[in-house]
Amino acid sequence: MRLGVLDVGSNTVHLLVVDAHPGARPLPAHSHKAELRLAELLEGDDAIGPHGVEKLVATILDALDAAEDKGVEEVLPFATSAVREASNADAVLARVAEETGVDLAVLAGDEEARLTFLAARRWFGWSAGRLLVLDIGGGSLEIAYGLDEEPDKAVSLPLGAGRLTSRWLPGDPPDAADVKALRRHVRTEIARIVGEFARFGPPDHVVATSKTFRQLARIAGAARSAEGLYVQRVLTRKALEEWVPRLAGMPAAARAELPGVSEGRAGQLLAGALVAEAAMDLFGVDEVEICPWALREGVILRRLDHLPAS
C-alpha cells in the first residue's frame, strides 16, 4: 500500500510518501516539504499567531494535494513540539481540522523519542545492542536508550535548534556573551537527566538522527547525501569542538555556504551544534553514527506493525 506521513514539525511540514507492507522495508516514493519554522513564529505568549496559522493551513492543503497526486491511500498526520507547546494549540488544531479535514495527532515528547528510537532500532538491527539515540529538532531534543524496540528510557527536552536560536541568539553573528549563556543553559538542562540514563549502563552504539546532525556530520567531512543511504556517516565530538567556535564567528550567510548546509537552516546551526556537543560531552560519547531513519519512519513502522500480514 502507499502511505503518506504528514509531519508538522517545528521547522518544516514534510509529507513523506512510501510504498510499504508489513514485514518489508518502506520504500520512499515521494517527498514534499515546505519550510514553515513554527518554532520561530510563536508570539510572546507562546501562541501561534494568525499569520502562522494561515501559513500552516495553506501548507497542509498543499501537502494533501501532493498526496492525492501520488495516489496515497492513507495519510498519517502528526505534529510535534511547536504545536504541542503552543498556548493556543487546541484552537490551532480545530482550525486545521475545519479547513483541511486533517485531525493532527499531537505527539507527546516521550512518544516522539520512542518512535524515533523504533526507527533507529529497525535500521541498525539487533546486532547494534544497547542503543542511545539523540535527535535534535526545531523545537526539542529527544533522547532514548534501550536494548529492545521499546526504549527503557525516553526523554524530550525543550532544546530544539529553532527555539534556542530565536530566544537566545538574536545577533548575526551572535554576541559571544549570548553564545556563552546558551551553552550554559543547554548543559544545565541536559545534565539534569543524564543520571536517569546512567543507571542502565553504557550503550553499545550511539546514534544521531535529524537534519541538524546530518549537516554537522557533513561539514565535518561525512559523505554527501548523493552517495546514498548505506554509506556510513559519523560525527565525532572532537570535530564538533573544533567547529562550534568557527560557527559562532560566522553570520548565517557564511554558514549557508558550508557543504550540506541549507540556507533555511543555516541560522539554527550554531544552536544545534551547541546542543549536539553538550549531549555528546555529558553522555561521554566520542562518536555518533548518523541514522537515515527517524521520526517519520518510526510513525510508518508503527502503523505497519498494526496491519494484518497479507
Q: Which of 187, 306, 212 is closest to 268 using CA atoms?
A: 212
Q: In this predicted structure, what is the pLDDT of residue 77? A: 97
Ramachandran assignment for 172, one of left (phi > 0), alpha (psi -120 to 50 degrees), beta (any other): beta
- Which uninterrupted H or E stretch holds 5? strand 2-8
Q: In this predicted structure, what is the pLDDT of residue 309? A: 62
Is 140 in contact with 112 (CB distance < 8 Å)? yes
- Angle, CA 268 vertex, CA 266 and CA 272 arms, to 5°: 120
Those residues whose C-beta lies under 8 Å from the C-beta of residue 286, and which sit 6 or more positions away, are: 236, 237, 238, 280
Beta bridge partners of 289: 207, 234
Q: In this predicted structure, what is the pLDDT of residue 6? A: 97
Domains defined along the chain, listed by start: 2-106 (3.30.420.40), 109-295 (3.30.420.150)
Q: In this predicted structure, what is the pLDDT of residue 227? A: 95
Q: In this predicted structure, what is the pLDDT of residue 310? A: 55
pTM of the model: 0.94
- Angle, CA 185 vertex, CA 243 and CA 205 arms, to 5°: 60
Q: Which of 152, 154, 151, 128 is closest to 143 using CA atoms?
A: 154
Q: In this predicted structure, what is the pLDDT of residue 27? A: 93
**pLDDT tens digit at each of 310 positions of the chain:** 899 999 998 889 999 999 988 888 899 999 999 988 887 777 778 899 898 899 999 999 999 999 999 999 999 999 998 899 899 999 999 999 999 999 999 999 999 999 999 999 999 999 999 999 999 999 999 999 999 999 999 999 999 999 999 899 999 999 999 999 999 999 999 999 999 999 999 999 999 999 999 999 999 999 999 999 899 999 999 999 999 999 999 999 999 999 999 998 999 999 999 999 999 999 999 999 999 999 999 999 999 988 766 5
Q: In this predicted structure, what is the pLDDT of residue 48? A: 92
